[in-house]
Amino acid sequence: MMSFRRDYITKPIFKWAKTALPALSETEAEAISSGDVHFEAELFSGKPDWTMLRKMKAPTLTAEEQAFVDGPCRAFCDMLDNWQIDRVDGDLPKEAWDYLRENGFFGMIIPKEYGGKGFSAYAHSEVVRYISSRSVAGAVTVMVPNSLGPGELILQFGTQEQRDDWLPRLASGKELPAFGLTSEDAGSDASAMVDEGVICKQEWQGEEVLGIRLNWAKRYITLSPVCTVLGLAFQLRDPDGLLGDTPDIGITCALVPTDLDGVETGRRHLPSGTMFMNGPTTGKDVFIPLENIIGGPDYAGKGWMMLMSALAAGRGISLPSLSAAGTALAAHTTGAYARVRKQFNMPIGLFGGVQEPMARIAANAYTIDAGRRLTTAALDEGHKLAVISAIMKYHATTRMRESINDAMDVHSGKAVIDGPLNYLQPHYRAIPIGITVEGANIVTRNLIIFGQGAIRAHPHLLDEMQALQEPDPEKSLTDFDKHFWAHVGHSTRTFFRGWWSAWTGRGDVPDNAGDIAPLYARLSRWSAAFAVTADMAFLTLGGELKRKEMISARLGDALSEMFLVSAALKRWEDDGRHEADLPLVQYAAEVSFNRIGRALDETIANFPARWVGWLLRPTLLPRSRSRGPSDKLAEQCAMILYHPSQTRDRLVGPLHPGEPDSGQGLLDTAYRMVIDAEPLTKRLRKLKQSPADALKAGALTDAEFAQLQRVDAAVQKVVAVDEYSPEEIAAMFPDAPQHPDSFTPREAAE
Ligand X SMILES: Cc1cc2nc3c(=O)[nH]c(=O)nc-3n(C[C@H](O)[C@H](O)[C@H](O)COP(=O)(O)OP(=O)(O)OC[C@H]3O[C@@H](n4cnc5c(N)ncnc54)[C@H](O)[C@@H]3O)c2cc1C
CB 696 → ligand X: shortest distance, Å?
Answer: 60
Whole-number Å distance between alpha carbons of 685 and 25: 72
What angle in degrees, to the nearest 10, is found between the helix axes of 352-380 and 631-642? 80
Give the residue closest to ligand X by C-beta: 187
* Residue 122 or 179 with smaller CB distance to ligand X: 179
CB 447 → ligand X: shortest distance, Å?
Answer: 5
Strand 177-180 and strand 207-222: the pairing is unpaired
Strand partners, 197: 214, 236
Task: State which amino acid sits at residue 272.
Answer: S
Strand partners, 162: none
Q: Which of 451, 301, 358 is nearest to 638 (CA)?
A: 358
* Residue 260 or 440 with smaller CB distance to ligand X: 440
Q: Strand, coil or helix: what is 423? A: coil
CA 460 to chain centre: 29
CB 443 → ligand X: shortest distance, Å?
Answer: 4
What angle in degrees, to the nearest 10, is found between the helix axes of 517-541 and 473-504? 140
* Residue 45 or 436 with smaller CB distance to ligand X: 436
Whole-number Å distance between alpha carbons of 49 and 441: 30
Q: What is the 3-state secondary structure (H, E, C) of 153-197?
A: HHHHHCCHHHHHHHHHHHHHCCCCEEEECCECCCCCCHHHCCCEE
* Residue 221 or 523 with smaller CB distance to ligand X: 221
CB 315 → ligand X: shortest distance, Å?
Answer: 11
Taking CA 323 as the corner, what is the angle to CA 317 and CA 325, rounded to the nearest 5 degrees? 100
Task: State which amino acid sits at residue 5.
Answer: R
Is 207 tagged catalytic?
no
Catalytic pick among 30, 126, 438, 464: 438
Whole-number Å distance between alpha carbons of 321 and 126: 7
Q: What share of the chain is helix, strand, coil (3-state, %, to 5)?
A: 65, 10, 25
* Residue 265 or 334 with smaller CB distance to ligand X: 265
DSSP 203: E
* Residue 279 or 301 with smaller CB distance to ligand X: 279
* Residue 555 or 591 with smaller CB distance to ligand X: 555
Whole-number Å distance between alpha carbons of 236 and 162: 20
| Site of interaction with ligand X (CB under 6 A) | 179-182, 187-188, 220-222, 271, 278, 433, 436-437, 440, 442-443, 446-447, 549
CB 561 → ligand X: shortest distance, Å?
Answer: 20
CB 433 → ligand X: shortest distance, Å?
Answer: 5
CB 181 → ligand X: shortest distance, Å?
Answer: 3
Whole-number Å distance between alpha carbons of 307 and 310: 5
Q: Find the length of the chain.
A: 750
Active site residues: 438
